[in-house]
C-alpha cells in the first residue's frame, strides 16, 4: 500500500480504541451485535446483509466499536469474570468523551426517576407560600435562611458549600477570574450575578438539606431552579440589609436587545437574580 493510502487509513482510525488500546470485550460485543443485525437484514436481501456486515466490520476495525457508548457500557455492565478473561478490570471508561456520554445517560435517567414539580415541592416544604402572583418566603424559612447566609464567607467555605451543592469533591471546584462569582464544575462554568446571590444559594441549600431528606435526590438542575426561586423572593440584601426590589433593564446581546428584570438591592446594588421579562424564568447559572 502507498504511503498516501496508509496515511488515510491511519487518519480513519481512533487510536484511543484501536491497536494496543483496543477493548476486546467491546469488539466481541459489537461483532455479535453486527452479526445479529445483519442476519436480520439478510432475511430481506442477502446482498443487503452482506453490505451492512462489511460496513459494520469496517466501523469496528477503524473506530473500535459499532454502537456509541460501548466502552462506557461494557466497562460498567459486563460481568467481572468476562472482563478478566480479556485482561480488563471493571472501571470507568478512560476516554473523557465516553465518560461525559455516560454522565449524560445517568443525568437523564436520574431526572426521569426523581423529577419534582419545583413550585409544589417548595410549598410542601414550607419554603414559599401564597398564590402565583403573591408568592413569598415563609417566615420560618426566611429566619432560617438569615441565620445561614454569609456573603463574606472565606473561599474555602464557599468551595465546600459548592462541593456539597453540586455533589462533587472540593478539589473539583475551580474558581474563574471574572468580576462576578464563577466556578468550573464538572467541565461546566457556573456563575452568579453577585457574591450575595451565591451566598443565598449556599445558605438555602444547607437549610433544605436539614429540612428535607429527599432534597439531595432531586435532580441538580431542578435544585438550582428551586434555589433561584428563593433568591427572587428574598426581601433583604444579605450584604447590607437593604430592601430588595425588581428593576427593569435593557440588555444588548449578540441576538439583539431584550428586556431583563433584575432582582437587586436598592441600597448597595447587589443583584440577586435576573429574570427573562417574557417568561419570568430566572437566569441563574450557566
Looking at the structure, tell me whether residues 80 and 102 fall in a common domain: yes
Looking at the structure, tell me whether residues 119 and 256 fall in a common domain: yes
Domain residues for the domain of 26 are 3-106
Classify residue 71: in a domain, yes or no.
yes
Looking at the structure, tell me whether residues 121 and 255 fall in a common domain: yes
Write down the pTM of the prediction: 0.60
Looking at the structure, tell me whether residues 177 and 46 fall in a common domain: no
What's the confidence (pLDDT) of residue 90?
45
Q: What mean pLDDT comes out for the span 223-234?
A: 94
* Contact assessment for residue 153 and residue 199, using Cβ atoms and an 8 Å cutoff: yes
What's the confidence (pLDDT) of residue 106?
61
What is the rounded distance in angstroms from the CA atom of residue 38 to the CA atom of residue 258? Answer: 53
Looking at the structure, tell me whether residues 7 and 98 fall in a common domain: yes
Better-predicted residue by pLDDT, 109 or 88: 109
Task: Name the pairing type of β-strands 256-265 and 244-253.
Answer: antiparallel
Query: How many residues make up the chain in this entry?
Result: 286
pLDDT tens-place string over residues 148-158: 999 999 999 99
Please count the structural domains in the chain: 2
- Output the CA torsion sign for 226, 229, 235, 239: positive
Q: Detail the DSSP E strand segments found in 154-243.
A: 173-175, 182-185, 188-191
Most distant pair of Cα atoms in the chain: their distance: 79
What's the confidence (pLDDT) of residue 108?
61
What is the rounded distance in angstroms from the CA atom of residue 75 to the CA atom of residue 38? Answer: 25
Q: What mean pLDDT comes out for the span 275-279?
A: 61
The residue among 174, 186, 230, 189 whose CA lies nearest residue 206 is: 230
**3-state secondary structure at position 274:** strand
Looking at the structure, tell me whether residues 120 and 253 fall in a common domain: yes
Cell readout for 107 is: 443525568
Classify residue 283: in a domain, yes or no.
no
pLDDT of 41 > 80? The answer is: no
Select from 43, 71, 106 the last residue of a domain: 106
The residue among 187, 255, 185 whose CA lies nearest residue 224 is: 185
pLDDT of 105 > 60? The answer is: no
Task: Give how far Cα 257 sits from Cα of 250, 253, 286, Å.
Answer: 7, 6, 20
Classify residue 282: in a domain, yes or no.
no
Better-predicted residue by pLDDT, 202 or 254: 202
Mean per-residue pLDDT of the chain? 77
- Output the CA torsion sign for 14, 20, 25, 27: positive
pLDDT of 252 > 60? The answer is: no
What's the confidence (pLDDT) of residue 18?
64
Q: What DSSP element (H or E) covers 196?
A: helix 195-211
Weakest mean pLDDT among 64-78, 115-129, 194-208, 259-273: 64-78
What's the confidence (pLDDT) of residue 56?
78
Select from 84, 106, 128 the last residue of a domain: 106
Within 13-127, where are the H helices? 24-44, 46-63, 70-77, 80-85, 96-114, 118-124
* Contact assessment for residue 176 and residue 183, using Cβ atoms and an 8 Å cutoff: yes
Per-residue pLDDT band at 211 (split at 50, 70, 90): very high
Looking at the structure, tell me whether residues 87 and 125 fall in a common domain: no
Classify residue 286: in a domain, yes or no.
no
Looking at the structure, tell me whether residues 32 and 129 fall in a common domain: no
What 8-state DSSP symbol labels residue 105?
H
- Output the CA torsion sign for 211, 212, 213, 217: negative
Per-residue pLDDT band at 1 (split at 50, 70, 90): very low
* Contact assessment for residue 149 and residue 201, using Cβ atoms and an 8 Å cutoff: no
Give how far the C-alpha of residue 254 lies from the chain's centroid of Cα atoms, to the nearest Å: 25
* Contact assessment for residue 49 and residue 38, using Cβ atoms and an 8 Å cutoff: yes
Amino acid at each position: 500500500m502507498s504511503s498516501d493510502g496508509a496515511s488515510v487509513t491511519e487518519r480513519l482510525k481512533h487510536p484511543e480504541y484501536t491497536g494496543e488500546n483496543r477493548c476486546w470485550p467491546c469488539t466481541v460485543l459489537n461483532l455479535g451485535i453486527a452479526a445479529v443485525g445483519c442476519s436480520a437484514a439478510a432475511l430481506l436481501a442477502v446482498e443487503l446483509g452482506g453490505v451492512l456486515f462489511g460496513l459494520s466490520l469496517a466501523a469496528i476495525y477503524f473506530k473500535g466499536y459499532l454502537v456509541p457508548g460501548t466502552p462506557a457500557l461494557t466497562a460498567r455492565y459486563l460481568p467481572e469474570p468476562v472482563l478478566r478473561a480479556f485482561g480488563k478490570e471493571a472501571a470507568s471508561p478512560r476516554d473523557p468523551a465516553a465518560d461525559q456520554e455516560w454522565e449524560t445517560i445517568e443525568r437523564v435517567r436520574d431526572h426521569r426517576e426523581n423529577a419534582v414539580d419545583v413550585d409544589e415541592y417548595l410549598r410542601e416544604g414550607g419554603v414559599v407560600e401564597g398564590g402565583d402572583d403573591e408568592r413569598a418566603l415563609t417566615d420560618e424559612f426566611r429566619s432560617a435562611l438569615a441565620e445561614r447566609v454569609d456573603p463574606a464567607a472565606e473561599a474555602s467555605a464557599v468551595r465546600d458549600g459548592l462541593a456539597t451543592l453540586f455533589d462533587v469533591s472540593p478539589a473539583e471546584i475551580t474558581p474563574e477570574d471574572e468580576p462576578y462569582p464563577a466556578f468550573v464544575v464538572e467541565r461546566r462554568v457556573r456563575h452568579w450575578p453577585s457574591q450575595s446571590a451565591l451566598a443565598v444559594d449556599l445558605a438555602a441549600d444547607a437549610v433544605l438539606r436539614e429540612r428535607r431528606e429527599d432534597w439531595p435526590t432531586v435532580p441538580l438542575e431542578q435544585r438550582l431552579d428551586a434555589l433561584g426561586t428563593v433568591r427572587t423572593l428574598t426581601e433583604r440584601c444579605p450584604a447590607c440589609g437593604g430592601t430588595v426590589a425588581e428593576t427593569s433593564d435593557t440588555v444588548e446581546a449578540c441576538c439583539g436587545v431584550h428586556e431583563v428584570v433584575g432582582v437587586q438591592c436598592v441600597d448597595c446594588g447587589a443583584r440577586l437574580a435576573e429574570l427573562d421579562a417574557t417568561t419570568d424564568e430566572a437566569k441563574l447559572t450557566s
